């Protein structure tokens, strides 16, 4: 096989040099890759339409009944946020129900107190808790959504 005219001499590729170039390219791209947000659980205000759509899609769902004045709710929120960052809960959808203003939703879920957590796997309720603040117990409830 002939080479095109003017292509110059053939050089052997130095494996160490090639390895170094690939490593430098990877290091240059690392900040951009690390800056991408990790997919986490999504939290949104409850709406009947969004809840029904999530159930029909078979998504893992947690209904969180909370009130801004509730100290237990304030303890639960960071626990749920931390769980939501875990890869296994990346598809979890958390619906926040306001205890003070969404009385019709409370009746729909038969939730009588703030700090109520209700787990669903698609259309099936898989568990609930009221007033729970132990991270391990909340995690075991959220696992029932998977």
Is the pTM above the cut of 0.85?
no
Question: What's the sign of the alpha-carbon dihedral 72, 77, 78, 82?
Answer: positive
pLDDT for position 41 = 87
How far apart (Å, rounded) are the C-alpha atoms in residues 146 and 135? 17
Q: What confidence tens digit (pLDDT) does each residue in 46-80 have?
A: 999 999 999 999 999 999 999 999 999 999 999 99
The parts of the chain modelled with pLDDT lower than 70 are: 1-39
pLDDT for position 134 = 97
pLDDT for position 128 = 97
From the list 41, 43, 51, 42, the residue with the least C-alpha distance to 105 is 51
């Amino acid at each position: 096989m002939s080479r095109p005219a003017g292509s110059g001499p053939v050089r052997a590729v130095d494996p160490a040099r090639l390895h170094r170039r690939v490593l430098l390219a990877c290091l240059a791209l690392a900040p951009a890759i690390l800056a991408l947000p990790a997919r986490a659980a999504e939290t949104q205000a409850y709406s009947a339409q969004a809840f029904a759509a999530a159930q029909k899609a078979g998504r893992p769902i947690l209904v969180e009944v909370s009130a801004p004045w509730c100290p237990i709710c304030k303890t639960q929120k960071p626990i749920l946020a931390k769980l939501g960052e875990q890869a296994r809960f990346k598809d979890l959808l958390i619906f926040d129900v306001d205890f003070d203003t969404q009385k019709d939703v409370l009746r729909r879920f038969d939730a009588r107190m703030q700090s109520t957590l209700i787990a669903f796997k698609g259309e099936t309720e898989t568990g609930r808790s009221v007033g729970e603040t132990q991270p391990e117990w909340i995690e075991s409830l959220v696992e029932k959504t998977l």
